[in-house]
Structure 1
C-alpha cells in the first residue's frame, strides 16, 4: 500500500499499515508530515513489533492523529510522550494517492552526560551496563525519576522504588543534584509498601556514601528513623506487606501478600537496613543512633540464631536478604547458597528490581561467576530478545517463544513495561563489583578498587564519577597491563586481582612495588596480599601504569545446566474437542462446562483438588459459556466417548483496571505421583488470543517448566506436561481479548 520516490517520499496508494522501527526505545511521541493526506488514518505506537490490541483492558495506543498544519501527531496523553520503539500509520480509507514526506519521533529527556563508563572482555556485559544507564536516562523527568510506562498510573517514583535507578544514575552520570531532588520528592511519597520504605533509607545511605553530603543526610535522619522504627515495631507481627515483588515466590505482586517468604525477607531486610544505617551514623557522628540500630539488628539476629535451623525454609529472596545483612557465618552462607543460588533457572527472579539484591548477595557469597551467569541470563536475555532498555518483568525462557521483539506475556503486574528504570541496578553492581570502584568513606575521600573479573573475564575497565573528579581503572589479567587514576583530594586502596593465578611481581610506573614483599614507590603507601588480591594501599592522587607478571592459569567456569523439574511434552492443535481416548484417561476437568463457574470434573485418585485464583472480584476468574448443544468439534465433548452434544466454555481473566491479564489454576495431588497433565485452550470466537503458560511447583512456587505460548487456539490447542508433585499454572494474556482456559486432563506416565 506504499512505495518510495527517489527523494524518500512515501507514496500511499492503498489501505493498509506502515510499520516503522526506530531501532531503540525512546521517550517520545510519533508524528508524520503530509501535504496532501486524504481519507482516514490512525496511528499506533508500541514497545514490541505489534500494535497493542484495542481491548477494554488494554491502554489505548491506536488513535486518529491531531493535525497541526501538515503535521499529524499521535497524542495519547497530556504529556504526549510514552515509551516507544515501533510506530505505525494505518490507512483506514483511501480515496486517492497521497504522500508522506517525513516521519519522526520527537524525543524528550532531561539532558545528562555519561560521566561514568564500563567495558570488559564480554561485550554483552558491557551492553548491559550501558543499557541500564540508558534505561535510567530515558526516565529522568523534569525534576524526578519517573517511568515512561505504557499509560500506567505510576509514572513517578514512590518512596523507595527508585532505589536501583538512583544507584545506577550515580555511577553512570554522577548527577547527584538530581538524585538529591528525587530523595526529597520521594521522602513522603509513600504507597504503603513497607519494603520500599526501607529501600528509601538504603538510597539515602547510597547518596551519602557517594557524595559525602552530610547536610542532606542530617535533613532526613528523623524521616529515616521513623521508617526504621516502624520496621522494628512490626518486626514480629507478620505485618500486611501488601507487596514485596512480582515474583511468584513473593506472592505474585499484590495477589498473595503475607506469604512466609516475603515475611522472612522483610525481617532480613529490616536487619540489613538497621545495620547499614548504624554504620552510616557511626561515620556521621551520631553514636546514639549508631548504637540504637546496631542493637536492633543484633537483638533480632541473636533471637533467630537460637534456632540452628532458622533459615532452612528461606527461598531465594529471603536467603538474599539474609546474606545482605552481612551478619551470617560461613556455614549459614554456604547452606543458603547451596539451597537457592545454584539452580540456574530459579536463582533468577521474575523481577529485575529484586534481582539487584540477589546479585548483591552473590557478591557477598564471593560467587562472582555465578552472579555474572545470572546477569547474562536475566539482563542479557532481555537484550537478546531485542530490548534496548530493561523490563519490569522478564523470564529468560520467553526468548524461545516470543521471537525477536515479539509481543511479551502480560501478567499479574498488568501491561508489561519494556522500559523500567527500577530494573537498572545491575549497572551500579557492575561498576562496584566487577570494575570494583567503591567509596570507602563518604564522598570518596577514601575509596577502593577491587575488581572481580572471575573466571570468565580477561579485562575490565571504566570510570566512576565522584565529587573530586573521575576515578578510572583498567585491568587486563592476560597481559598484566593495568592503569588507574586517583583524583585530587582522595586516597585509595587498589587490589590487583590474582584470578586464581600467582603474581610474581608488580611494577608501578616502571618501578618494582611487589615481589612477595613491598618496595617503596612514589604515591604508593604500602602493599600486602591475600588469596584474592595484592593490595596497593594509601595510593595518592595521580596516574599509575602497572605491569603485573602472572604465572599459572585461571580455571574455566562452566555455567550450571539449565534444567526444569517438570517435563514439557508438547503441543497438539489437531485433536480439538475430541479428547476421549487421547486425553483424560485418569481424569479431567471441563472448565465452566456447567456454567456459572461450575466445572464438569472427574478427578483421578491422586488428585485432591483443582482450584483457581485471580486478583480481583471474588477470587475466581470470570467465566463464559460460548455455546451449548453444539456439534462443533472444537468444543469439548462431555464424555470420553466423544459422543453427544457439546458445550464450548472457559474460565478467563479480564478486568478493566489492567491487572486482569492472568489467573492461576492449582492442581493438588497426594504426596508425589508421576502424572501427565494437559491444558486445553480454545479461541472460540476467534479473537486472536495468544496465551502464555507458566508452570510452578505449588509448594515452593519455583518455575518447573519453560514458559510456553499458545500461538493460535481457534481450532483448540493442548499443552502437555509431566510432573510428580502439586503444580500451579499461571495463564497469561499475550494478545487478544483475554487469557482463557477450557479444560484440564490427567493421564498416566507410560
Structure 2
C-alpha cells in the first residue's frame, strides 16, 4: 500500500524521505572527527596483508587520527533532560563552559538554551562520543575540532575562539551505545567445501568458487603443525613453495578440538599439510562480507551476458569490504584508480554512499601532502574525479563543503609539480602508472596525465562554486581552459588523427596509444569529426597496442558505448569476459590475455601465482550494462534530472533496475516495446525507432534521423511501442 501511494504522488516521495531523515536525526549514533575513523580503519585493514606468511605494509605515507577532539552542540529545551554519555577515551564534560566534576556517565541539562561540550582523548583508537537523551542525541549535526584555540588569561577570562575551525561530526552505522567503533567487524556466515581429495602430499579442499574468510579446523588432535596453502587456483594451492599465502597452526591437542584461524584469506582451494601425529577431520570457513543490499539488476536474452553480469556482481561483492579494495588475495589495499571504478559500479549496483565517501576519505589522508595518492600521479587525479561523480550521482553537497580544503591542498601539490611548459611530468618519487602494458613508455609529459589533470581542474572549479569560493572557481576554470587548449596544440597529430602518447624534450613522440584518446571521447573533449577519426584510427585499429587489463578495457568499451557502438561492445564483452568464464573463472581477474595458456594466466610480477583472480576492476560490466545498455545516467546532481537512453546492442530484450537517491528506475526493453517506471526527479527518454512510436501517457517528440524524446514525470509508469533499428556492423581497421 505504501509503495502504491508513493508511486501515485511524487510529493509523498519527498515527504517520505524527509520523515526518514527526521527519524535518523533523532536516533543517537557514535560520532567522531570527520575522516579520522576512516583513516584509522583503513590503516588497520590494509595492514592485514601478508605474503608467504610475512607482514607486508603499504608503500605510502600513513596518517593517523587526532587523539584529542572537542565535540559540542547547542540545544533549546522546554524542560530539563537527563542525558547518558558514552565515549571511547578519557573525557570531560562542560555545560555552558562550566566543567562537571568527575567522569559523569549521566548529566541533567536544565531547561533553556545550553551548549554541551565533550572533550575526548584516545591515542590508540579514534576519540568518539555517543550521547543519548530524549531530544539530545549525538549525530552529524554536532560540531567538532581537533584544536579549540582557547586560552585563559591572568584574570581567568577565556579567550575568543572564533578562529577555531569546526566541522560536522563524522558517523557511520554504530547506532547502539555498546556497538563501539573500535570493535568494527564485518559480518560472517558459514560456508562449506564442495569436495575433499586426500593424497600423500596433503588434503586438497575445494570450496567450489573464489571466496574470502576465516578457515575453521574441525576435530584437530595430536601434536604437530597444520599448514594450509591457499590457492585461487588448484595449481597454486598445491605449489607449497610458490603459493602467495599460507597459514601455520600449531597443535598440542590430546582430544579433538575445533579452532578458528585468526586471519582472513582469499582462496578457492586449500591444501592441508600436517606434520607430527596431528590430524584434522575436516575444514569449513566463515565467509566475511560487507552485507550491502543489491539494488541494481540486469537480465537479458543472452544467457552468457547474464552469467557475465552475475560473476561481475560476485567479484564486486568480494572486493567490497570496509572499503572498496583492489583484490582479495594479494594487496587487499585501497588503491585510488581501482576504487574510482568501484564507485561507478557501486552507483549501478548498491548505491551505497557510505562506502564511497569512506574510501575517498581514507585515500586522501591529511595534510601536509608529501606525495601523490598511492604515490601514483594518475591515481591522484582519479581521486578528484571521484568527488565530481559522487556529487553528480548522490547530490551530497555537504561532503564537498566539508572536505573542499583537502581538495585545495592536494591540487596545489599537483600544480607545483608541473614542468616549464605547465605540464605534468613524472618527478622523483612519482609513479606514472596508466596501465599494466608491456613496453608502455612513461617518459616525458604523457598526454593521458594532462587530460586527467584538466578534468580534475574542472572538478575543482565545480566544487569551488559549490562552496561559494568564486575566486578559486575562476582560477581553476582558467587553468583547465589553458591546459585543454595546450592538450590539442601540443598532442594532436593531424596525420595520425589522434592524440600522441607523450612529449619528450619538448617534442611530440610518434607513438599513439588508446588511453588519452578514449578518455577524451567520453569527457567530450573532441569535436564530432575528431571523435569519428579517433574511433577509426585508434579504438577500432588493431595496429594500436591492445589493452589486456579489465581496468582499461572498462574505459575503452565506455568510449565506444559513448559513440553508440553497443553492438560492437557486446561482442567484445562476450569475447573478453566470456573468455575468462570459458577458462573456469568464478570471479574476474586482474589481467586476462587471451593469447596466454595454462598456468601463464596465473603469473604476474615475476611470480608464478602473483596475478589476482578476483579483482574489483574486473567487474566493470556492472557499470557498462547499467549506464550504456539500460542507458540510465544523471544529468544533474542527485538524479534531479536524468536520461534514459536504452541500447539493446543486438539483444532481443533486457530488463533491470538502476538505483537513485530516491527510488529505483525500472526498465524493460525489447525490439518492439519499452516499459519504464521512474523514480524521483525529471527524466528524459531518448531512443531510435524505425516507425512512429506510440505512448499513451507521454508526449513523444521527433528529433529527426529516427530519434525521439519524451519527458518523464517522477514516480510514473510508461509503455512505449516502437521498432528498434537493426544492429549495425563495423569492420575493424587493420
In 1, the alpha carbon distance for the partners of 2:432 and 2:721 equals 51
Residues 176-221 of structure 1: CA deviation (Å, up to 9, x unaligned): 1222222222222832211111111111111111111110021222
Q: CA, structure 1 residues 432+288, in 2 after alignment: closer, same or farther (shift >3 Å)? A: farther
Residues 208-248 of structure 1: CA deviation (Å, up to 9, x unaligned): 11111110021222323344444444252523341324422
In 2, the alpha carbon distance for the partners of 1:243 and 1:474 equals 43
In 1, the alpha carbon distance for the partners of 2:544 and 2:304 equals 22
Q: CA, structure 1 residues 334+527, in 2 after alignment: closer, same or farther (shift >3 Å)? A: closer
Q: Does the CA-based 8 Å contact 1:38-1:94 persist in structure 2?
A: yes
**Deviation at 1:437?**
0.9
Q: Does the CA-based 8 Å contact 1:341-1:347 persist in structure 2?
A: no
**Deviation at 1:133?**
2.8
Q: Does the CA-based 8 Å contact 1:269-1:325 persist in structure 2?
A: no
2:625 alignment counterpart: 430
Residues 82-112 of structure 1: CA deviation (Å, up to 9, x unaligned): 21111223466789xx783x43222111111
In 2, the alpha carbon distance for the partners of 1:360 and 1:347 equals 18
**1:191 and 2:191 correspond:** no
Q: Does the CA-based 8 Å contact 2:668-2:676 persist in structure 1?
A: yes
In 2, the alpha carbon distance for the partners of 1:482 and 1:217 equals 37
In 2, the alpha carbon distance for the partners of 1:117 and 1:12 equals 38
1:486 alignment counterpart: 678
1:166 alignment counterpart: 343
2:423 alignment counterpart: 236
Q: CA, structure 1 residues 247+412, in 2 after alignment: closer, same or farther (shift >3 Å)? A: farther
2:639 alignment counterpart: 444
1:146 alignment counterpart: 325
In 1, the alpha carbon distance for the partners of 2:273 and 2:234 equals 14
* Secondary structure of the corresponding residue to residue 693 of structure 2: strand
2:184 alignment counterpart: none
Match of 1:504 among 666, 669, 692: 692
Q: Does the CA-based 8 Å contact 1:14-1:94 persist in structure 2?
A: no
* Secondary structure of the corresponding residue to residue 534 of structure 1: strand
**Deviation at 1:394?**
2.0
In 2, the alpha carbon distance for the partners of 1:18 and 1:384 equals 27
In 1, the alpha carbon distance for the partners of 2:357 and 2:286 equals 28
1:103 alignment counterpart: 283
Q: CA, structure 1 residues 554+223, in 2 after alignment: closer, same or farther (shift >3 Å)? A: same
In 1, the alpha carbon distance for the partners of 2:632 and 2:198 equals 58
Q: Does the CA-based 8 Å contact 1:436-1:449 persist in structure 2?
A: yes
Matches within 5 A, 1:191-340: 191-233=374-416, 234=418, 235-236=422-423, 238-240=425-427, 241-248=430-437, 251=440, 258-259=442-443, 263-278=446-461, 288-306=471-489, 309=493, 311-312=499-500, 313-340=511-538
Q: Does the CA-based 8 Å contact 1:43-1:65 persist in structure 2?
A: no
Matches within 5 A, 1:292-691: 292-306=475-489, 309=493, 311-312=499-500, 313-343=511-541, 348-398=546-596, 401-402=597-598, 408-411=602-605, 415-454=610-649, 456-477=650-671, 480-487=672-679, 489-498=680-689, 502-507=690-695, 511=696, 521=697, 524=698, 527-531=701-705, 533-549=707-723, 554-555=726-727, 557=729
**Deviation at 1:379?**
2.8
Q: Does the CA-based 8 Å contact 2:316-2:619 persist in structure 1?
A: yes
2:154 alignment counterpart: none
Please say which of residues 102-111 and 360-369 is displaced more in the overlay.
360-369
In 2, the alpha carbon distance for the partners of 1:331 and 1:12 equals 61
2:352 alignment counterpart: 175
In 1, the alpha carbon distance for the partners of 2:325 and 2:292 equals 15
Q: Does the CA-based 8 Å contact 1:11-1:99 persist in structure 2?
A: no
Q: CA, structure 1 residues 65+318, in 2 after alignment: closer, same or farther (shift >3 Å)? A: farther
Residues 375-406 of structure 1: CA deviation (Å, up to 9, x unaligned): 333333222222222222221223xx228xx8
* Secondary structure of the corresponding residue to residue 375 of structure 2: coil
Instruction: Tell me the TM-score normalised to structure 2 length.
Output: 0.63
Q: Does the CA-based 8 Å contact 1:15-1:94 persist in structure 2?
A: no
Q: Does the CA-based 8 Å contact 2:308-2:577 persist in structure 1?
A: yes
**Deviation at 1:493?**
0.6
* Secondary structure of the corresponding residue to residue 663 of structure 2: coil
Q: CA, structure 1 residues 53+225, in 2 after alignment: closer, same or farther (shift >3 Å)? A: farther
Q: Does the CA-based 8 Å contact 2:667-2:676 persist in structure 1?
A: yes
Which residues of structure 1 form unaligned runs of 5+?
Answer: 1-7, 512-520, 564-750
* Secondary structure of the corresponding residue to residue 554 of structure 1: coil
**Deviation at 1:74?**
7.9
Q: CA, structure 1 residues 227+429, in 2 after alignment: closer, same or farther (shift >3 Å)? A: farther
Please say which of residues 413-422 and 21-30 is displaced more in the overlay.
413-422
Q: Does the CA-based 8 Å contact 2:674-2:721 persist in structure 1?
A: yes
Q: Does the CA-based 8 Å contact 1:269-1:322 persist in structure 2?
A: no
Match of 2:312 among 132, 154, 179: 132
Q: Does the CA-based 8 Å contact 2:230-2:246 persist in structure 1?
A: yes
In 2, the alpha carbon distance for the partners of 1:286 and 1:546 equals 45
* Secondary structure of the corresponding residue to residue 557 of structure 1: coil
**Deviation at 1:536?**
0.9
In 2, the alpha carbon distance for the partners of 1:327 and 1:14 equals 61
Q: CA, structure 1 residues 481+335, in 2 after alignment: closer, same or farther (shift >3 Å)? A: closer
Q: CA, structure 1 residues 215+544, in 2 after alignment: closer, same or farther (shift >3 Å)? A: same
Instruction: Tell me the TM-score normalised to structure 1 length.
Output: 0.61
Q: CA, structure 1 residues 453+259, in 2 after alignment: closer, same or farther (shift >3 Å)? A: farther
Aligned Cα root-mean-square deviation (Å): 3.6
In 2, the alpha carbon distance for the partners of 1:55 and 1:12 equals 17
**Deviation at 1:439?**
1.1
* Secondary structure of the corresponding residue to residue 451 of structure 1: coil
Q: Does the CA-based 8 Å contact 2:226-2:251 persist in structure 1?
A: no
**Deviation at 1:442?**
1.0
Q: CA, structure 1 residues 259+333, in 2 after alignment: closer, same or farther (shift >3 Å)? A: farther
Q: How many residues align?
A: 513
Q: Does the CA-based 8 Å contact 1:493-1:538 persist in structure 2?
A: yes
Q: CA, structure 1 residues 392+83, in 2 after alignment: closer, same or farther (shift >3 Å)? A: same
* Secondary structure of the corresponding residue to residue 702 of structure 2: strand
Q: CA, structure 1 residues 270+53, in 2 after alignment: closer, same or farther (shift >3 Å)? A: farther
2:214 alignment counterpart: 29
* Secondary structure of the corresponding residue to residue 722 of structure 2: strand
